[in-house]
Structure 1
Amino acid sequence: MVKKKLLSLCLITENDAKYLSNCLENMQEYVDEIIIVDRASRDLTSEIAQKFGANVYQKGWENDYSKAKNFCLNQAQGRWALFLQANEIISTQQLKELRQLLENPNVEGYLLYIDNFSQNYRITSPVQSLRLIRNRKEFQYKYKAFERIPDELLSNIKDSGIRIVQQPDLESSGDFDQLSLLLEKDLKKNPEDSYLQYMYGIELLNQQRFEESIKYLEKARQNVNFDYLFAPHLYKCLSWALISLERHENALDVLDEGIKNFPLYTDFLVLRGELKKQLKEYGEAIGDLEKGLKLRGKSNTMVPEPEINITVILETLGDIHEEVFNYHRALIYYQQAYELNKGNPQILYKIGNVVKKVNNTEILANLLQQSIEESNLQQLIVIMDILFQQREYHKVLAHLDNLESLLGKGEQTESIKASCYMMLGELKKAELSFSSILKESPFYNHMLLQRMEGYWIHGKWQKVRQVLKEMDEALSIENNIKALYHFLHQLLTEEEPQYRDLKDQEYEIVSTLMESFLWLGKVDKARLLIPLLQRGNEDKYINLGVLWAEQNDYQIIERIFGQISTKEKQLEFKQKVLEQFLGKEQIETAQKVISLGDKQPLGPLEYVVWSQGFIKKLKESLEEINQTMAPQTPAKPSKSLVAFYQFFALDKNAMNESSLELTTLELTCSKIHSEIGDFYRKAKKNQEAFSAFLRALQWQPLDNLAQEKIKEMFQENPNQFSKFLEEKNWFLEGSWFQHKQEFIDYILGVIDFRNQQFEKALASFHKIGKDETSYPLALAYIISSLWLTGKESEAERWLKEQSGPFEIVSKFFSICKGYALDRLNVGHQQFPYSELIRVEKERMG
């Protein structure tokens, strides 16, 4: 008995001689037969096919791809059929894996995704990736173009994990026109077919006819069955078209529906995250992208699989975190993205940019060492370029031998050497390296201009004139560049030339020159270039502002800001410049920048600038009255209180006598009562929780967290807790409060103070008499209320008049710092993703 064949390779060919040999040679060892339906080729296609033992069938072309494929299936003897094009191959390793897939008795078809290296990118449907199917009589293709076996017939499709490599075919562009015509005929015959509507929408999308595309994709969405293979991709294409027309609200509706119906298709989350990023809704963008990352592990069960790979998600997360100044998070994501895609130098440049901002030289050093050890020339070149851009000239020179060992010693490395020596002021060494570069070299003109810049920077004016003459004689340097360098020479020698507008390339030349002057501390020369740079594109003003923020030069910052015409760009300018000032602790200048132009929401920066300015002003006030802050030691709990704490099982480690002693050393009375309050609150025993938090304040009246929880609970039900305060028979703990009314006045004052109702708070605190033990607390709050309402002079007078001011000063500072932390907490609730606010809170302690 003849054993039934397992796998038939099926191709439809027409004049494919130049590709076919490669394809069949690649496949013949792994298939049991080759079926070729040839559309009357005029070249050697048939002869080549027969050479590989293929069964070749000459068929007159009927403008119907389904008929051709169904004919293939009818001729094929294999239990499985694999459809390829003549310009496609599969790697040997994956072909071995392919054979194993055919043993699964439960699968009817496999998706093989296509890697197309053509520069003319086209959106394709996952239906076109269904290349491997069981060869059953009922499995028949339909439609003249973009043929498909109906989903109702073909079930249980899986992702094969195998990639088809498709070579670009420059002669196939006409095929797309033919396919579109055939598609139109199918659609005319079946106007309500959701698949045809979807495919026609894709073709319009590929032609960037977005409005028309949306019309057909929207019709398809209304008619589609969610079980269809193409359904998730339909939603994605519709959202793409809407985003392209900036119809963001409609796009979000489509993406929301897509996420609801196809929760594992993570492309929806990535697209929504990217859209939220564009809308500057950063918290939601980060949430979507991080959720997409978590789901990627589960999305391997999704058919079709999401197209946007993890590297893109990681890089986009890095971009967002960098945009909101979360540099440490950005660096983590960029590093993860680069580990997965080391062929992308742009990610490495992003790592270099962030490394500079967080001042972490170790990361670049490790990558540099890795490049050397692995002889990775591409990575080494990029890292050397990053170091050069960051003006680490000594490091570049130190590793030039490593570059030469991979690249070879020649004019390229000599030009790098000359540039480094020129910037370091070692002009003789620079000239020696430059002398080895021939005039015919592609590096010569660039180095000629760099020499001129170096001589300007180091004040070698006579040498500049010589180089200008050489430049004028160079035929390959464009006239506008020659004119620019003559202009710059006149400007730097204070000849007052007539200013001119700059093209992008010219702007980069002038901007780099200004950076070089600033790097060498020649600020006066750098200032001469400002009017020229202000004649460039407004988009460049942000980087210009950041450069001068490093110099703490508010006048130039103000001058640049005045040239920005749009509110959006003004906001971006202020944010980038503010972040620079914060990094250098230039708070006064940062506060001036905030006041530039109209008041605008500055996000997390606004909270951090306010916080640092507030604390700075507070400390300066205390310095003026020559007072210091006394340290405060919280009360330690008794063993009975710790045992009570352990009874609630709040301390998972406190299981024996030795751990009991450890707990006694680590815990305070206030902390124990606060955690008991948290325990009761989770159990929804609100009165017990409220009572525990009140006891925490009896031990530590300035406990910020306990105060906040009391305020929150009081706001939830003020009548209930007011009654509770009045009616409860208090046994007061600690040494701060001796009488019930004294404690109630203090608590009500604290609640009003934290709600910023300072007049009401003052009324409560004034009820506490000088003879009460809590009077120092009340007095500290009275002084704090005055200071926070703009009555700093009166607050300072009160501080000076106290007989034991060191204790009052400590409490006053603690209360005001707590007020600042509350403001930061509000900011953190609004911007939970902000690294800036988190770090500021930690800094305040």
Structure 2
Amino acid sequence: MKSNLKSKKPSLSLCMIVKNEEEYLQECLESVEDVVDEIILVDTGSTDRTVEIAKQFDAEVYHIPWHDDFAAARNESIKHASGDWILQLDADERLDPESKKELRHWLENNSKMCISVLIDSPKEENNKGHISRAHRLFRNLPGIQYSGRIHEQISPSVSKLKGEEGFTNIKVMHLGYNKSEVEMQAKSERNFLLLKRQLAEEPNNAYYHFTLAQNLILQKEYKQALTSLNTALKLGGLPKDIRCSIYNNLTEVHTKLGKYEEAVQFAAKAISLSRNQTTSYLLLYEIYGYLDNPLRQIDCLESVLDITGKQKQSYNEVSLEAYVDETAIYINLGNRYLKTKKLEKAHNYFQKALEKDENNFLALTGKANSFLETGDFQKAQELFERVHQQAPDDFGILEKLGWLAIKLQNFHKGIEIYEKLLTFHPENFNILKRLAALYSKTGNLPKSKEHLLRLKSI
């Protein structure tokens, strides 16, 4: 990439550290190539096409050995930057296209020393994820540098320079939680070792005890995580957003340990620190599921929906904010209302989900079940037919369609469905009995007798 550092507009340098990132790097660089003025890439030992890809974007590539120190590598990257501002990204991150205009606006219209952006980490398999804040945009000034072997930060150096921080809604998409289980485990183990080394150097650093706890939670070492979280609180000195996240982590850990009463208490502490965050309510929803309390689950999800409209505010109040796809929230609310026999509300929430995704399998199934409960068998059948098209071999859906065919006195349709069910379970007593009755109703006595004889042989 050709430098544009003589422009009157503030110039921007992208600074990265990489190793074997050929799978992710190109899309990362494509996301910012029309925003940044130069690309500085520090490679710590790639053996794949990472460097080749970087040079396709005219990146300046520097090579250093890896010394188990992220801050040292980051500082090497910013040492070579010539821009007025520095943007830091990892290879598995992309600048959200809708944030480009806001990014340029902040570069040209603010007096802050560093800028906090939103890191959106979705988990593709379950429509969940979390959003955190990080200082990824800062002025290229003497004295601004990273510190920390792991979970490196520039904020301590900015504080020493008495610089101000700006909060933005610039969004960076992080794909790191969608890597393979092997990759995630290797990353977790690497980070654990670095955190232990960092704590050996700074045993009274509450922040590193907090980050160690998060690593231990990912490794499902909940008792050890509990110790680290309590140590972080005891050492103190942490800002409100980190304390709120610690209480949410304590909620999660106690839930995993089956200590639900304590978990509820810690969630309440997190909510008292920040009422405009959804993480605590989502954790409580899980707890009340274990306690089979659908009414309290409804309260939790209704709170999540209420907060969602104000969520940008909450990103300043908690260091890590969980989220769930709104369609999934509607479906879960529909199911909880269905369980408590509040059928009109159940129906309405399933409908809201279908307005967002008209072919959503779970929403169609839920709405069909709500019609079953109200006795509207015709509408239930229509919806289950749509579900059946998506999952033609789903035994449960076929059973309901068979039952509905009988209720609607469509006996030939019922026979067709139950014969298919019989292919799944040839010796199923109830299916054979139902087929015998259906054939009798349609006047096909030989077939009815055939199934009765099969019943006797079971």
For the superposition of Structure 1 and Structure 2, which TM-score range results when normalised by the shorter chain? 0.7 to 0.9
Q: Is the 8 A contact 2:120 2:132 kept in 1?
A: no
2: CA distance, partners of 1:388 / 1:310: 30
Written as runs of structure 1 = structure 2, the 5 A alignment for 1:446-525 is 451-452=431-432, 454-455=434-435, 463=447, 466-467=450-451
Which residue of 2 is the match for residue 110 of structure 1? 116
2: CA distance, partners of 1:384 / 1:124: 29
Question: What per-residue deviation string (whole Å, max 9, x for no partner) do you get for residues 341-390 of structure 1?
Answer: 26864444445556xx346499569949976x986464774357426754
Written as runs of structure 1 = structure 2, the 5 A alignment for 1:469-618 is none
Secondary structure at the residue paired with 2:31? helix
Structure 1 position 42 matched with structure 2 position 47:
yes
Out of 59, 71, 79, the position equivalent to 1:74 is 79
Out of 227, 243, 249, the position equivalent to 1:215 is 227
2: CA distance, partners of 1:433 / 1:33: 64
Q: Is the 8 A contact 1:142 1:148 kept in 2?
A: yes
1: CA distance, partners of 2:235 / 2:60: 41
Out of 325, 341, 354, the position equivalent to 2:327 is 341
Distance 1:468 1:206, change over 3 A: farther
Which residue identity is paired with 1:211?
K
Distance 1:367 1:198, change over 3 A: closer
State the aligned residue count: 436
Instruction: Give the CA deviation at 1:86.
Output: 1.6
Q: Please, what is the CA RMSD of the aligned residues?
A: 4.9
Out of 169, 194, 208, the position equivalent to 2:179 is 169
Out of 424, 427, 450, the position equivalent to 1:445 is 424
Question: What per-residue deviation string (whole Å, max 9, x for no partner) do you get for residues 255-314 of structure 1?
Answer: 5554555565564566568768978999999988877876766664455455556869xx
Which residue identity is paired with 1:164?
M
Scaled by the length of structure 2, the TM-score of the pair is 0.74
Out of 55, 60, 63, the position equivalent to 1:55 is 60
2: CA distance, partners of 1:377 / 1:290: 21
Instruction: Give the CA deviation at 1:58.
Output: 1.3
Q: Which has the larger radius of gyration?
A: 1
1: CA distance, partners of 2:295 / 2:361: 35
Identity across matched positions, percent: 22
2: CA distance, partners of 1:411 / 1:285: 32
Higher share in helix: 1
Instruction: Give the CA deviation at 1:77.
Output: 2.3
Secondary structure at the residue paired with 2:32? helix
Out of 232, 251, 269, the position equivalent to 2:244 is 232
Q: Unpaired segments of 5 or more residues in structure 2? A: none
Which residue identity is paired with 2:44?
R
Distance 1:24 1:432, change over 3 A: same
Which residue of 1 is the match for residue 147 of structure 2? 142
Distance 1:233 1:365, change over 3 A: closer
Structure 1 position 427 matched with structure 2 position 411:
yes
Q: Is the 8 A contact 1:114 1:165 kept in 2?
A: yes
Q: Is the 8 A contact 1:144 1:186 kept in 2?
A: yes
Distance 1:428 1:291, change over 3 A: closer
Structure 1 position 2 matched with structure 2 position 30:
no
Which residue identity is paired with 2:232?
A
2: CA distance, partners of 1:411 / 1:234: 45
User: Which of structures 1 and 2 has the larger relative contact order (alpha carbons within 8 angstroms, sep 6+)?
Assistant: 2
Instruction: Give the CA deviation at 1:124.
Output: 8.6
Which residue of 1 is the match for residue 34 of structure 2? 29
Distance 1:347 1:60, change over 3 A: same
Higher share in strand: 2
Out of 186, 198, 212, the position equivalent to 1:200 is 212
Which residue identity is paired with 2:167?
K
Instruction: Give the CA deviation at 1:24.
Output: 1.5
Q: Is the 8 A contact 1:36 1:56 kept in 2?
A: yes
Distance 1:32 1:190, change over 3 A: same
2: CA distance, partners of 1:35 / 1:204: 33
Distance 1:189 1:291, change over 3 A: same
2: CA distance, partners of 1:420 / 1:310: 38
Which residue identity is paired with 2:123?
F
Structure 1 position 15 matched with structure 2 position 20:
yes
Q: Is the 8 A contact 1:10 1:82 kept in 2?
A: yes
Instruction: Give the CA deviation at 1:174.
Output: 1.5
Distance 1:207 1:454, change over 3 A: same
1: CA distance, partners of 2:127 / 2:202: 28
Q: Is the 8 A contact 1:38 1:46 kept in 2?
A: yes
